[in-house]
Every structure is written in structure tokens, then in C-alpha cells.
Amino acid sequence: MKVGDKVKFDFAGRKKEGTVSKVFSSTVYLKVDFDKDKQKTVKRKVSQLDSRKSKKK
């Protein structure tokens, strides 16, 4: 997983897509577009993201 990759993750029972902005050993910061808040930063653990994306480092 690298900066700029598109990643799908669960948010409020739905799948959202975000762009990776920062990557650390166990956490990832994503930029996500919501209806009323564009380019919001969301923090997730690597283990919570799509398993096929998190295995690529």
C-alpha cells in the first residue's frame, strides 16, 4: 500500500472509497469525500482495510 492508492473500507455499514494520504506501520490515513465534507481525513488500522490491499507493502 502506497500514498495515492485507492482503497475501499467499511464506514457506517457501507463501503466507501478513499485515497491513501499517509501510511505508517499499523495505521493509514485516508482522504474521503463525504456529501457535506470533501477531502475529510479518516484514520484506519491496516488490519481493518481490504485484506488484498493491506498485504501489499
Q: How far apart are CA 2 and CA 11, in angstroms?
A: 21
Distance between CA 6 and CA 21 in Å, rounded?
Answer: 10
pLDDT at residue 51 in the model: 58
Per-residue model confidence as pLDDT tens digits over 5-55: 999 998 888 899 999 999 999 999 999 999 999 999 999 998 888 655 545
H-helix segments, 1-57: 51-54
Band of pLDDT at residue 4, cut at 50, 70 and 90: very high
CA 20 to chain centre: 6
Answer yes or no: pTM beyond 0.85: no
CA 45, 51, 57: angle at the middle one, nearest 5?
Answer: 75
